[in-house]
Structure formats: C-alpha cells, structure tokens
Amino acid sequence: MSGSQAAYAAVDLSVKLGTLELAYPTLMGSGCYGSGEEFAPFADPAKIGGVVLKSVTQRPRLGNRAPRLVATPSGMLNAIGLQNPGIDWYLEHDLAERVPRPWKTIGSVAGFSVDEYAYVTQRLAAQPEIDAIELNVSCPNVAAEGETFACDPKLTGRVVRLVRDTTEKTLIVKLSPNVTDIAAVAREAEDAGADALAVINTVRGMAIDVDTWRPRLGNVTGGLSGPAIRPIAVLAVYEVACAVKIPIVGQGGIETVTDALEFFLAGATAVSIGTANFIDPRIPERIVEGLRAYLGERGLLSIGQIVGQANRGFAGAHRCEGREG
C-alpha cells in the first residue's frame, strides 16, 4: 500500500442520522433497490451504508397499471403506485424472510391518513431488523392524498408529531420538491421531532405518445428522477440546510462521486442513490471509493468536514443564515 492509499484508508466516511450510525454516507433510495436482495449478487453489500426498503402501507395495494416507466431525457418517469402487500403480510413474509446483511435497513412508510402513518410506523419500527424509519409523505403517484402531506407544512407537522410518539428509532422525513417553500415544510418536520430529512422525492411530470395521443404512463402523471432533477435537488438541499439543524439525506440524480459531492457541499450529511442503480448496481460502491479518494487527496479526515461548505463564506444574495458548524 502506498502512502497516499494508506492516508485514504484512514478517511472517516461514517455518519450519524439521529441515533442511526452508517459506515458509509450512502443509502439506496426507496423503491429503487427492492429489499436489497435483488441487487446483492451484483454489488458489494459491505460497501453500502443503508438500504431504504420499498414503501409499505397498511392495506395491500396492487399499484398502478402499466406502463409504469417511461425513459425521458437524462432521467425517467415512474408511476408504480406503491404496490405492496400491506403491513401484516409484509412483516409475516417479506421481512421475516430477510437475509442478514452488513448494511443498515431503513423501513419506508407510506399512507393516506395521519393515523395510517402512525399505525404502520409503530408496527414496522417494532421489528428488530429495522434500524430506522423513513416517512414517505411525498409519493406523487397515488390519488391526491398521498403527496398532500408533504405539500402542506401543517399537515406534515401533524403526521410527524403523531409518528414521533410511536418510535424511538431514527425518523427520516422525505420531502417533496413539488412545493413553493420546501424550507417551511422542513422546519415543521424538524419542530415536530424528525431526526433527519430526505430531500428530495421525485418531481411530478408527464410524457405523451404523439402517435396514440395518449399519456405514456398508465397513471397519466408520474415522478421524474435521475440527472434531470439534480439541480432542483441540490438547491432544495441548500435551502433546507439553511432552514434546519437536523441532518439531510440528499438525493436526486446522483450517478457519480462529483454528483454526490455537490449534495454534501450543499449541506447533506448523507446521500441516497436510486435511479443510478438501473445503470449499474456498482455505482454506489464506486461513489464510496471516490469520496475516500477526494477527501484523501485534500488531506481531509472525514466526510463531515465538507458538509455544507457551499453555504459558507460568501455574501451573495442567497447567503445562508442560521446554520453554523
């Protein structure tokens, strides 16, 4: 091992979200990584910080009809519609048969009422296999109610407050970009007891087939992900970082270490990788190695040293107030 490689190996990539300790600051995005087992044969499970499981609801959901996916420039639209077997079946089968892995497992909860969120969180968080909970209050692909939670700061606050009482485990609240003031929603979630915020879920979008004159998704509208939304996501992280003190999990179109670095510099403590796994499931581990090399080359000892650095030291119109250190 050369001197520089030894220095890189000493770089600390571990991070904490509430009480959740991650060996690497990389989560696999909910809905993009199944239970993790689908990808385990092609990726190195020891180089993944955590896997956010597919969102689960109280009742079984068949999901939207096909087509559920459309490729778009620099991204894709999806409208899966939260297909899942419901919490009872999920705990009895999917979770019970889970293979132990070195990564941290984060359960994702979706719902259509405040009570549903609280009920499902309580059941899921009680499982020893679950290390933390992500609240998907921002799914754009289900009939109206789904996303309205994350679009209304007060409603977000109500959901988070009720859910907070059901578990001690780290609670990550996933925010929607489809709002006028994401910082306001972020502040409500923080005040209500969230331990961390996931920023952002997909951006609403639509594609139309010019031969058939019909929408290309069975659900008509969908959620846009991939590099197409990255600048939107970087700005959202930057704005949220200015507004709250709790850690942020940045996501939206991360494919390379450079993309990930943008999010850390904007104020994210960890990042999440979703759509990029559809190019190549080894992208997350390459990002981890890339982060190590980037920090090592600069003589930095930990990932924490770059978090939020884009918010410091300039006096432009958007200078970030209220977040120090």
Ligand X SMILES: Cc1cc2nc3c(=O)[nH]c(=O)nc-3n(C[C@H](O)[C@H](O)[C@H](O)COP(=O)(O)O)c2cc1C
Which residue is listed with tokens 């933390």?
132
Residue 201 in contact with ligand X, rule: CB under 6 A: yes
Tell which one of 6, 9, 10, 66 touches another protein (CB under 8 A): 66
Task: Please report whether residue 251 would count as binding ligand X according to CB under 6 A.
Answer: yes
Q: What is the 3-state secondary structure (H, E, C) of 113-131?
A: CHHHHHHHHHHHHCCCCCC
Q: What CA–CA distance (Å, rounded) separates 259 from 255?
A: 6
Supply the minimum distance, in Å, between the C-beta of residue 88 and another protein. 8
Task: Select from 9-17, 25-33, 177-185, 286-294 the region that touches ligand X (CB under 6 A).
Answer: 25-33
Q: Indicate which residue of 139, 151, 242, 320 is catalytic.
A: 139
Q: Which listed option, ligand X, another protein, none, makes contact with residue 33 (CB within 5 to 8 Å by class)?
A: another protein
Which of 106, 173, 254, 291 lies at the binding interface for ligand X (CB under 6 A)?
254
Q: Which does 174 bind (CB under 5 to 8 A by kind): ligand X, another protein, none?
A: ligand X
Which of 26, 57, 64, 136 forms a contact with ligand X (CB under 6 A)?
136
Confirm if 133 and 170 have CB atoms less than 8 A apart.
yes
End-to-end, the C-alpha distance of the chain in Å comes to 34
**Does position 275 bind another protein by CB under 8 A?**
yes
Distances (CA, A) of 273 to 15, 95, 236, 258, 285: 16, 22, 16, 13, 11
- Neighbouring C-beta atoms of residue 305, cutoff 10 Å: 14
Write down the least CB distance from residue 221 to another protein, Å. Answer: 15
Q: Which of 16, 59, 101, 158 binds another protein (CB under 8 A)?
A: 59
Adjacent-strand bridge partners of 28: 51, 273
How far are the Cα atoms of 23, 126, 172, 174 from residue 103, in angstroms, in the given order? 8, 19, 17, 20
Residue of the chain from 15, 27, 52, 76 that contacts another protein (CB under 8 A): 76
For the CB of residue 140, give the shortest distance to another protein in the complex, in Å: 15
Asked whether the beta carbons of 236 and 175 are under 8 A apart, the reply is yes
Residue 58: C-alpha distances to residues 25, 82, 85, 144, 145 (Å)? 30, 11, 9, 17, 15
The reply to whether 78 sits near another protein by the rule CB under 8 A is yes
**139 belongs to the catalytic site:** yes
With binding defined as CB under 8 A, does residue 156 bind another protein?
no
* β-pairing verdict for 196-199 and 248-251: parallel
Q: Which does 29 bind (CB under 5 to 8 A by kind): ligand X, another protein, none?
A: ligand X
Strand pairing category for 132-136 and 170-175: parallel
80 is a contact residue toward another protein (CB under 8 A): yes
Please give the single-letter amino acid code of residue 65.
Answer: R
User: Taking CB under 6 A as the rule, which mask of x and - marks residues 30-59 in contact with ligand X?
Assistant: xxx---------------------xx----
Q: Would you count residue 133 as binding ligand X (CB under 6 A)?
A: no
C-alpha span between 314 and 48 (Å, rounded): 34
CA angle in degrees (0–180, nearest 5) for 21-188-128:
30
Residues of this chain that interact with another protein (CB under 8 A) are 31-34, 38-39, 41-42, 54, 59-60, 62-63, 65-71, 74-76, 78, 80, 83, 85-86, 88-89, 93, 226-227, 275, 277-280, 282
Residues assigned a catalytic role: 139
Residues of this chain that interact with ligand X (CB under 6 A) are 29-32, 54-55, 78, 80, 82, 108, 136, 139, 174, 201-202, 225-226, 251-254, 273-276
